[in-house]
Copies of this chain bind each other. A is one copy, B any other.
Amino acid sequence: MSVTAAQGFEAAGVAAGLKSTGKPDVALVVNRGPQKTGAAVFTSNRAKANPIMWSQQVVKDGVVEAVVLNSGGANCFTGSFGFQTSHLTAEKVAEKLGVSAGDVVVCSTGLIGTGDEVFRQKVLDGATAAAEELSDDGGEHAAHAIMTTDTIPKQAVRERDGWTIGGMAKGAGMLAPGLATMLVVITTDAVLTAEQADAVLRGATRVSFDRLDSDGAMSTNDQVTLLASGATGIEPNLEAFEAELAALCLDLAEQLMGDAEGASHNIRIEVRRAATEGDAVTVARSVARNNLFKTAIFGNDANWGRVLAAIGTTDAEFDPYNVDVSMNGVRVCSEGGPDRPREEVDLTPRDTHVVIDLLVGEATATIMTNDLTHAYVHENSAYSS
């Protein structure tokens, strides 16, 4: 399933010893064609890891033969040695597949600053082993090999009009937007030009991964790659394709939210009647990043005051004294004052829905986030990642 659900793809996941647990840590996804279309979006963090800098060059011509991914080390801030490692990894895969290294995307995740000679050798050996284990049902193995603190692999598949889109994702912390924010590989057997692939990928990620903001921390390494094999020979209706791709990305984003480090609530913050979509996103993101709001939800406390205090720090168009806030269907604040008693809100379910009505315009947007919990603090203070 996942990246091998569409025709024309093979994948593998192997254990190369990067993870101290001995679990799989190198994945490979190969496009067997006939088309080799590729597009990608990258973290907008200015502190970019070596594999990001390598892969940005690879996707420029719209041709991608394969994606090789490793967990167990970010190869970020590891200097020119680290960049060489990304380059050598691509060369190793290219050699095994008989393609050009310049068409091999490299992704890494793990601790920043990890990328020494031991790391390099393990990644190269892992890439070799993965190339030898490629199979057309290897998607499940690949999805496992990219996990870090994820507790479950994230996979999704959608079919329509004869073509299929499949994807895998990893991400459990440092989930915040700025284009891509985690490692994701998506494959399709539809026929797409490089320009079409780029356009639909940007359109789909804008309303899915970019709306996920688990802990406000933007990664140095994350990347979403789309590969199209054209194996069905079907040229899709592009609007339909982008809609399905967005739905698949949203599905993966929701899986990421559901498995975020230490979280006990999946929180959808929906802003309605904003002046612009940008305003709606700004307001929802400000609430999503407010630690006092996040801890209140953890404590099952419908603390709408903390919502309004967070909205007040934005430059969005709104009147602080004419805002409605509902939580799980109970309007706790109307016209900037108390409405129903907060005790009426049941925040015990994991799924939490906060609706903020700005009463200004017509635009709407939803940000997906998580609560701030003891487990989040534990997971991020007890272990380096």
Contact = CB atoms under 8 A, between A and B. Distances in A.
B381 A306 contact: no
Q: How many copies of this protein are present in the complex?
A: 2
B289 A216 contact: yes
A113 interface: yes
A24 B67 CA distance: 65
Given A336-B79, A377-B374, A378-B374, A309 B178 contact: no
A103 interface: no
Q: How large is the interface on A (under 10, 10 to 19, 20 to 34, 35 or more residues)?
A: 35 or more
A56 B176 CA distance: 37
A301 B384 contact: yes
A312 B377 contact: no
A313 B312 CA distance: 22
Contact of A217 (B76, B216, B292, B299): B292
Contacts of A216: 289-291
Given A76-B305, A313-B218, A320-B47, A380 B292 contact: yes
Given A46-B312, A79-B337, A215-B292, A305 B377 contact: no
A135 interface: no
A372 B291 contact: yes
Contact of A336 (B77, B218, B321, B383): B77
A111 to B, nearest CB: 7
Contacts of A219: 309
Interface in A106-146: 111-113
A95 B320 CA distance: 32
Contact of A215 (B291, B298, B374): B291
Contacts of A377: 295, 298, 372-374, 376-377
B381 A48 contact: no
Contacts of A284: none
A305 B99 CA distance: 34
A71 to B, nearest CB: 15
Contacts of A290: 216-217
A47 B309 contact: yes
Interface string A314-339: 10000011000000000001011110
Q: Interface on chain A toward B: helix, strand, loop, or mixed SS?
A: loop
Contacts of A46: 311-314, 320
Nearest to A112: B305
Nearest to A78: B337
Interface string A235-262: 0000000000000000000000000000
A296 B379 CA distance: 10
A111 B376 contact: no
A336 B158 CA distance: 42
Contact of A304 (B113, B321, B376): B113
Contact of A220 (B111, B112, B215, B309): B309
Contacts of A79: 321, 335-337
Contact of A380 (B299, B312, B383): B299
Nearest to A309: B220
A321 B174 CA distance: 21
Contact of A47 (B218, B311, B382): B311
Interface of A: 45-48, 74, 76-79, 111-113, 173-174, 178, 215-220, 289-292, 295-296, 298-299, 301, 303-306, 308-314, 320-321, 333, 335-338, 372-374, 376-378, 380-384
Query: What 6 A-B pairs are tightest by C-beta distance, nearest first?
Result: A112-B305, A47-B312, A299-B381, A295-B380, A45-B312, A47-B320
14 contacts: A48-B320, A77-B321, A77-B333, A79-B321, A112-B306, A112-B308, A113-B305, A113-B337, A174-B309, A217-B291, A218-B309, A219-B309, A299-B382, A372-B377
